[in-house]
Structures are given as structure tokens and as C-alpha cells.
């Protein structure tokens, strides 16, 4: 079984193999400002449009800022939050606790367990007490059984051993990067480790961002 993230007027799902198979631990790598939250939100919105419930854990934005951000991109999620099909957990919630949560408290929460997709944007060891990468990734890998788990991470902020373990334990890996081409900054989604697909994939997907339209896949690009 796979989860579709198709939306009208958008070819991203076609370029990324037609959907995400259930049971995937899906990691999105990228430096700051390369689009990790953008891609996470695009996937989240696509899942919601296809009737798939999600939990979105953010280490960055409180809920009002996130909803404004999603509206500005053309990926409105307010109604999904109100209806309960999307559960949004904010950094404010995490910081107001008398003590930091551990990962078990998150993934054993009944409201989170009932959702089909868990997105953690981004991997921030400070969000959880007793953080240890092997245990963290192994627990998420197990939690992804019958679900999809997506995490984002900035490799530059992690040590080499942590990045290695993330690569080893992730079933799917996508990397976001940009480069100057003809004096113009171009953005790319690279499907680095993408073993299970519904249809063929495009290994490197060029994209741009437009207000009100979000992530727009470019028709062609010079590599």
C-alpha cells in the first residue's frame, strides 16, 4: 500500500514515483533555507488532500505562524487542523512542559498513533531528553510499520557519526540543494535513496517557489 500526495496542477508526485509506500522512514536532508519545511509542507498538504491523516511536529514555528506560512504558499491547512485530520505539535508545546519529552512519550501518544503519517521537522536533539541517534532512529523505524515517518535534518548541524546512522537506518533519503546556473540560483530535490516507487522517478528534480502556488516543478534544467 502507498500514500499518494498528488494535488491538482502539480507534477511533484509523478517525478517522485507516484507516492510513498507505507512502512518508509523517509529523511529529507538540506542546509538552512534549502526548502526542508517547504517540501515537508507540500507532502503534508498532498497527503491531507488524499484523505491521509498526519501529525506534524515542528521545532521551528508556533501554530499561527505555520498556518500563515502554509496559506502564503497555497497549502492551507487550517481546516485540517480544526477537523483533527492534522495534528500540529509546536515548539511552544515542547518548551512549556516542566521537562522535555522523550521520543517514547511522543510515539506512544494515542492521538499520534492513530495518524497515518508522522512528520518531524526538523531533527533537533534539544527537543527530546536522553537523545541518542541509534535509539531515536530505530524507534522511528519501528513506528513506521503501517505508517510513513518523515524527518528533516541539516547535515551541517550534525556530526558525521549521526549523519551516517541516519543514512543507514532511513529507507528513503532525499537531499535538497541549490546552485548557480547562468547567474540564477536553481533549487533541486535529489532522490538519493528511493527504493520503492509506484512508477519511474526523476533522480534530480528542479523546482522554484512561487507565492500562492508553493513548490513548482521546473519542466527542464541544465544539470
Please name every residue paired with 180 in a beta bridge, in sequence order, or none if there are none. Answer: 185
Q: For the domain with range 2-215, which CATH number is right: 3.90.1150.10, 3.90.1150.170, 3.40.50.300, 1.10.10.10?
A: 3.40.50.300
Q: For 148-170, how does the pLDDT look when each residue is reduced to its tens digit (9 = 90+)? A: 999 999 999 999 999 999 999 99
As to burial, measured by CB atoms within 10 angstroms (0-12 exposed, 13-18 middle, 19+ buried), residue 58 is: buried
Closest CA relative to residue 124, chosen from 79, 94, 161, 82? 94
Question: Do 48 and 54 meet the contact criterion of CB atoms below 8 Å apart?
Answer: yes
Q: For 65-81, how does the pLDDT look when each residue is reduced to its tens digit (9 = 90+)? A: 999 999 999 999 999 99
CA distance 119 to 77: 14
pTM of the shown model: 0.94
Q: Which of 49-58, 103-112, 185-194 has the least mean pLDDT? A: 103-112
Query: Reduced to 3 states, what is the DSSP secondary structure of residue 185?
Result: strand
Domain range annotation of the chain: 2-215
Amino acid at each position: 500500500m502507498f500514500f499518494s500526495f498528488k494535488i491538482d496542477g502539480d507534477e511533484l508526485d509523478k517525478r517522485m514515483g507516484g507516492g510513498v509506500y507505507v512502512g518508509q522512514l523517509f529523511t529529507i536532508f538540506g542546509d538552512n533555507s534549502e526548502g526542508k519545511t517547504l517540501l515537508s509542507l507540500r507532502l503534508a498538504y498532498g497527503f491531507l488532500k488524499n484523505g491521509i491523516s498526519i501529525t506534524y511536529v515542528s521545532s521551528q514555528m508556533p501554530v499561527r505562524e505555520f498556518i500563515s506560512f502554509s496559506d502564503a504558499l497555497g497549502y492551507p491547512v487550517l481546516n485540517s487542523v480544526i477537523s483533527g485530520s492534522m495534528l500540529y505539535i509546536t515548539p511552544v508545546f515542547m518548551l512549556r512542559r516542566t521537562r522535555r519529552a522523550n521520543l517514547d512519550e511522543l510515539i506512544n501518544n494515542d492521538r499520534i498513533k492513530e495518524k497515518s503519517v508522522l512528520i518531524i521537522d526538523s531533527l533537533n536533539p534539544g527537543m527530546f531528553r536522553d537523545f541518542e541517534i541509534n535509539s531515536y532512529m530505530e524507534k522511528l523505524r519501528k513506528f513506521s510499520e503501517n505508517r510513513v515517518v518523515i524527518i528533516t535534518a541539516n547535515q551541517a548541524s550534525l556530526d558525521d557519526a549521526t549523519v551516517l546512522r541516519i543514512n543507514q537506518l532511513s529507507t528513503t533519503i532525499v537531499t535538497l540543494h541549490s546552485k548557480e546556473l547562468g547567474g540564477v540560483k536553481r533549487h533541486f530535490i535529489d532522490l538519493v535513496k528511493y527504493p520503492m516507487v509506484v512508477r519511474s522517478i526523476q533522480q534530480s528534480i528542479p523546482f522554484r517557489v512561487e507565492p500562492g502556488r508553493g513548490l513548482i516543478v521546473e519542466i527542464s534544467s541544465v544539470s
